[in-house]
Amino acid sequence: MLVLNNMPNISAETDCGGDIDSILKECGKFIQKKGSKIPPSPKCCGTLKSVDFTCLCGALTITPEVGDLIDGEKTIYVAIACGLHIPKVGTKCGPHYSIPSSPSPSPPKA
């Protein structure tokens, strides 16, 4: 589980329309930097339904502590796998990732 409880600039509720604690609890293992891309669980997808991803990517970009733990590419991968709207091409999602012209929508083959 990804834990960000004592990090600066992280609040339980985000301006992006989601509950950060719930997002991290249900989706942390799918969006953390370590490990490979894995398809998100139905609970993770359900938690993300109310999140504004452009806003969330912006929050990852301006909060280096979070950006160092959460992988922007995996975050977009999860959004696509959950059938959510993703930010426009070129939008930064975390300090080290920008949305490419054709992000990979399909989960890896098992």
pTM (two decimals): 0.71
Mean pLDDT of the chain: 75
Instruction: Give pLDDT tens digits for 62-97.
Output: 666 766 778 888 888 898 899 988 777 777 777 777
C-beta atoms surrounding 65 within 10 Å: 13
Rounded CA separation 30/41 (Å): 9
